[in-house]
Structure 1
Amino acid sequence: MKALTIRQPWAGAIAHQAKRVENRSWKLPAKHEGARILIHAGAQRDRDAVVYGDHLDVYSAVVAVVTITGCHWSDDGTCCGPWGFENAYHWTLTDVIALPEPVPAKGALGFWTPQPDVLAAVEAQLADTATAI
């Protein structure tokens, strides 16, 4: 399973709010469409972002698991509600599962492969979450 690092507060908004689009300057590689990935909160905050709520202060940790269902270009950003940026690729996200406990990890640019211990910790939480449902 791959991971994608996203700065806060955007990673927290994906995990704990209704943000179901990731804005990127680059098109989603076709091989990742339909893929289940980890959402990693980066080590730094996006200083220009204005998002309020809980769970937005976690850094350098995996915070959620999502499925990327598609990608499209948007000139005006209105297609994806308040979360869509203009002049950006919108990666659509579904099946979001916020992890009960963030899993510490060092991120990277682009899609990256987490260490086995990080994957094991995420999978254990997903198994616990499934059992609780």
Structure 2
Amino acid sequence: MKALTIRQPWADAIAHGSKRTENRSWPAPSKHLGSRILIHAAANKDRTRRPSHEYPRVLTNNIGIWPDTRSVILAIATLTECHFDSACCQPWGMDGYYHWELANVIALPHPVPAKGALGFWTPTADVLNAVTTQQTGVTW
């Protein structure tokens, strides 16, 4: 299983909110489409391209502020589709980027510490074990 590192607050918006489109400057490799992936929160937060009107929706949910944990696996998702921006995937899709569509997102009850990497990366056996033990009954 592969992991994808995403900066905060976007990783939380996927794990705990309604964000189901990840914006990337490159297309998702076709071999990963339809696969379950791990959502990893980067060590650093995103400091770019966040309009001020996005803050309330991104940083809060119906129970308050999201945890903003860093350098952890937060969730599991299925990467279902990838297409270049065509004025779609609102409100999360950004103009001029590839939209990676996610489905079946399951937030982990206990985030798993892990060091991330650019692009897709392979977690260690210990990290995968810590994730899978939390997800009994989930199809991988």
* Same fold (TM > 0.5): yes
Q: Contact 2:2/2:122 (CA < 8 Å) preserved in 1?
A: yes
Question: Within 5 Å, which residues of 2 pair with 1:27-106?
Answer: 27-48=27-48, 49=50, 50=55, 51-53=58-60, 54-75=65-86, 78-106=87-115
Partner Cα distance (2:88, 2:126) in 1: 38
Partner Cα distance (1:74, 1:81) in 2: 10
- Runs of 4+, deviation exceeding 6 Å: none
Q: Which runs of 5+ in 2 are unaligned?
A: none
The alpha-carbon deviation at position 55 of structure 1 amounts to 2.6
SS state at 1:94 partner? strand
Percent sequence identity over matched residues? 60
Partner Cα distance (2:122, 2:109) in 1: 21
SS state at 2:106 partner? strand
Closer, same or farther: CA 56–46 of 1 in aligned 2, 3 Å: farther
Correspondence 1:13 to 2:13: yes
SS state at 1:79 partner? coil
Partner Cα distance (1:4, 1:15) in 2: 13
Q: Contact 2:22/2:101 (CA < 8 Å) preserved in 1?
A: yes
Residues 55-102 of structure 1: CA distance to partner in whole angstroms, max 9, x if unpaired? 351100000000000101115xx4111111000000000000000111
SS state at 1:83 partner? coil
In the superposition, the TM-score normalised over structure 1's length comes to 0.91
Partner Cα distance (2:110, 2:133) in 1: 11
Partner Cα distance (1:58, 1:40) in 2: 10
In the superposition, the TM-score normalised over structure 2's length comes to 0.86
Partner Cα distance (2:127, 2:13) in 1: 21
Aligned residue pairs total: 127
Residue identity in the other structure for 1:39: I
Residue identity in the other structure for 1:18: S
From the two aligned structures, give the one with the greater helix fraction.
1
